[in-house]
Structure 1
Amino acid sequence: MQQTEQSQKEVILTQNPALKERKLRLRWLLAISSLPLFGIITAFGIAPQTATQNIAISTIVENIALPEISAPLVSENLESQNYWQADQVRRDDTLASLMARLNIQNDEALEFLRRNPDASALASQLRPGRAIQAQVNADGALLKLQYQLSSTSTLTIERTDSGYQAKTGEPSLEVHNVLKTAEIRSSLFAATDAADIPDSIAIQMAEIFSSDIDFHSDLRKGDRFAVIYEAKYDNGHLVNTGQVVAAEFTNQGKTYKAVMYRDPAGKVAYYTPEGKSRHKSFLRSPLEFTRISSGFTMGRFHPILQRMRAHKGVDLAAPIGTRIKAPADGVVKFVGVKSGYGNVIYLQHTGGVTTVYGHLSRFASGLRNGMKVSQGDIIGFVGMTGMATGPHLHYEFQLNGVHRDPLKVALPAAQPIAPQYLSDFRTRSANLTAQLQLLSASTLAALD
């Protein structure tokens, strides 16, 4: 037993030197393989210092020829450095504070703005939000000024060789088309308000489609419309809206379309995309909102004369001052006073038609005999002059001198677009109709 243990110890002892030698060999290999890494680290550690110590520093001076400047950097004529400055009138502005903000410093201009009768409109009509722009030179001398007095009037002040001059005129406006669409939830005006469409455009649409849609009773929730209308801008500021250019209205599942056409004479009318007129030759009623207080009859008890008498027209009850529109194009045959009619207007139309308007409170400004009027023009205002017991319009319709019931007579057919304008209209109509279809399609896609 003891011999066995002794022999094992001898074996272990004889193996130990070999083991030690193997371990020593591994350590040397590890040390040798690590030398490149230590070298890199050392290089990073000492290279910067070593490099800076060994670089020789020297100063070199060299003459460089500069190019000649053909023009002075600063203009010799400072007055040629003119610039425009645009601003808006603020709530607490005075003429002095506004001129200071526009950098207008010459006394001659300030005195002109205060004393000239036309230029003084600037100081008396400072309204917050209105646009103003001025051109001045480097010395602060006013060269030109433009101020928006109203949506249709601009004040222009300009320096000339003989001094400053002021004039008032229509602004030079940029016209752009605006495309909008909306859906009826409760009323037309509620829909246009939600879509940020001006009331004037809503009123125009109601008039354009009035022969097909009664906007008081026919509208339904879910009806839709698309409209293209003119917007007028002055230096990027919206001044006002113009006319409807094209419109599409879907009411109770049926779609109506209208396209505006302005002929070379400047007359505006609305047609279907095919060229049929959307205007009736005659409006059925010359009043927008009314009720019939007395109809057309050959035998009526007259409330003032207290006897039976023919009533050869209709009485349309309305408040005093209600506007009266010409139902069709025509010429003023008579405007003045006639016994029982009081203030009365006779209009002569084509096709042997004459219309009469009695008991007016007053006439439209400037209305005179022989004057031409267009359909929709305001000719007078409801009253109760002459033999009348209350405010109303007495309206007559005569065909070749024979009285007819205005509410039942067959109205003349409207004329389509003139043949000489048809080709131009079709080109315009195709473009606008495509825009309306694209606008409607994008709206339906957004709803889906």
Structure 2
Amino acid sequence: MQQTEQSQRKVILTQNPALKERKLRLRWLLAISSLPLFGIITAFGIAPQTSTQDVAISTIVEDVELPEISTPFVSENLESENYWQADQVRRDDTLASLMSRLNVQNSEALDFLRKNPDARALASQLRPGRAIQAQVNASGELLKLQYQLNPTSTLTVERTDSGYQAKTAEPTLETHNVLKTAEIKSSLFAATDSVDIPDSIAIQMAEIFSSDIDFHSDLRKGDRFVVIYEAKYNNGNLVNTGQVLAAEFTNQGKTYKAVMYRNPEGKVAYYTPEGKSLHKSFLRSPLEFTRISSGFTLGRFHPILQKMRAHKGVDLAAPIGTRIKAPADGVVQFVGVKGGYGNVIYLQHNGGVTTVYGHLSRFAPGLRQGMKVSQGDIIGHVGMTGMATGPHLHYEFLLNGVHRDPLKVALPAAQPLAPQYREDFLAHSANLNAQLQLLSASTVASLD
């Protein structure tokens, strides 16, 4: 037992020099690591306190030689000092506040705008959102002013050698082609409204494809169309829309196309891209959209006369004031009041055809006997004059003096594209058809 304890003590004593050496190395390492810290402390310790009280303050004055200034430049071209400023009328604007915002400062111009008979239209027709622009010089003198009185009229005020002058004229409009597409979900008008297509364009499309598509009963959810139409702008603002240039309508899986062509004589018509005419020499209906309240029959109980009587026409229900169009080129045979028809118009057309329009509220201004009308011209407005129980148009179609059902009679075919225009048409059609195909393809891809 005693021998064992002695052996362990020897082992411990044998390890002590190693422990001592390790501890010594550790102490030196700590000492060396602390040297930078001691240096920092020493540096802070020996840095003297800085005092600003003993700094001397003095003022130094020196003569500085300035460069020579040449004679100031005076522009001889006053136009270079003129500038345009564009703005829009705000809701609370007055003439004074508007001119102040346009930097017009001369009283002569303000007096002219208030007193001149033509220029006074500016102050009396300040409509929020309308565009106005003014050209002034560096002194704030008005040189020229342009104001959009309405979509088709612009007021121009300009300073001349004899003073200010004002005139009103139609603005110079920029025409651009607009390409749009939409899908039918409920109705044609709902689809066009969803993509901001004006109603006038929707009506044109309905007329263009009316011989192939009945827009009252044939439309289905999922039908789609592509249309290219003209839009006219004034200073970037849309003024109105023009004609449909081309359109493609897919109805119940079948696609129809139309291209507008204006021949060198100025006549406008719509054709398929291959040149087949889409026009009928007669429109099926003289009203744009309507419903039939009473059809063509040889035996109908008359609601006013209270007896059976032939109804040799169709009654097209529509609100009072609805426009009535000439269904074909013709000559006014009669316009005036006649018995139960009330206000009535008779039109004589080629091929022995006569059409009759009864119960009108009023006639188109200037319409008179012997006057020529073209297809689509407005001839009158729906009413309920004569023997009528409600507002509607009574429409008759006579062929060589014999009444025919306007909704079933075979309409004469339209004149085909003249041979001398065919080459020009095909070149025109190819461009528009390519645009239709491009837009249609992108639409189908997005739907997929």
Shorter-chain TM range is: 0.7 to 0.9
**Within-5 A mapping of 1:141-180:** 141-180=141-180
Distance 1:406 1:167, change over 3 A: same
1:336 counterpart letter in structure 2: G
Write out per-residue CA displacement over residues 352-394 of structure 1, whole angstroms, 9 at most, x where no aligned residue: 2111112212112222223332222221122232333443322
Distance 1:340 1:199, change over 3 A: closer
Distance 1:285 1:140, change over 3 A: same
Q: State the match for 1:435 in structure 2.
A: 435
1:410, 1:372 → 2: CA distance? 24
How many corresponding residue pairs?
379
Distance 1:441 1:318, change over 3 A: closer
Q: TM-score, normalised by structure 2?
A: 0.78
Q: State the match for 1:295 in structure 2.
A: 296
1:428 counterpart letter in structure 2: H
**1:340 partnered with 2:340:** yes
Q: State the match for 2:87 in structure 1.
A: 87
Q: TM-score, normalised by structure 1?
A: 0.78
Q: State the match for 2:365 in structure 1.
A: 365
Q: Is the 8 A contact 1:178 1:230 kept in 2?
A: yes
2:222, 2:408 → 1: CA distance? 33
1:228, 1:320 → 2: CA distance? 32
Which consecutive unaligned segments of at least 5 residues does structure 2 have?
Answer: 1-67
Distance 1:389 1:441, change over 3 A: closer
Write out per-residue CA displacement over residues 176-223 of structure 1, whole angstroms, 9 at most, x where no aligned residue: 111112222333233223323233322222222222122232222222
Q: Is the 8 A contact 1:344 1:360 kept in 2?
A: yes
**Within-5 A mapping of 1:376-395:** 376-395=376-395
Partner of 1:395: helix, strand, or coil?
strand
Partner of 2:422: helix, strand, or coil?
helix
1:442 counterpart letter in structure 2: S
Partner of 1:423: helix, strand, or coil?
helix
Displacement of 1:79 in angstroms is 5.5
1:140 counterpart letter in structure 2: G
Q: Is the 8 A contact 2:152 2:171 kept in 1?
A: yes
1:315, 1:190 → 2: CA distance? 27
1:401 counterpart letter in structure 2: G
Displacement of 1:289 in angstroms is 0.4
Percent of pairs with identical residues:
85
After TM superposition, which residue ranges in structure 1, 4 or more long, deviate above 6 angstroms?
Answer: none
Q: State the match for 2:6 in structure 1.
A: none
Q: State the match for 2:38 in structure 1.
A: none
2:126, 2:351 → 1: CA distance? 53
2:292 counterpart letter in structure 1: R
**Within-5 A mapping of 1:1-400:** 73-78=73-78, 80-287=80-287, 288-297=289-298, 304=304, 310-400=310-400
Displacement of 1:306 in angstroms is 5.8
Write out per-residue CA displacement over residues 222-244 of structure 1, whole angstroms, 9 at most, x where no aligned residue: 22211111121212222222221
- RMSD over aligned Cα atoms: 2.5
1:197 counterpart letter in structure 2: I
Displacement of 1:73 in angstroms is 4.8
Write out per-residue CA displacement over residues 52-102 of structure 1, whole angstroms, 9 at most, x where no aligned residue: xxxxxxxxxxxxxx9xx9x98541343552221111111211111111111
1:405, 1:202 → 2: CA distance? 27
Distance 1:154 1:348, change over 3 A: same
Q: Is the 8 A contact 1:291 1:318 kept in 2?
A: no
1:228, 1:146 → 2: CA distance? 31
Structure 1 stretch 164-173 or stretch 420-429: which is displaced more?
A: 420-429
2:376, 2:226 → 1: CA distance? 24
1:259, 1:72 → 2: CA distance? 65
1:190, 1:390 → 2: CA distance? 28
Structure 1 stretch 387-396 or stretch 300-309: which is displaced more?
A: 300-309
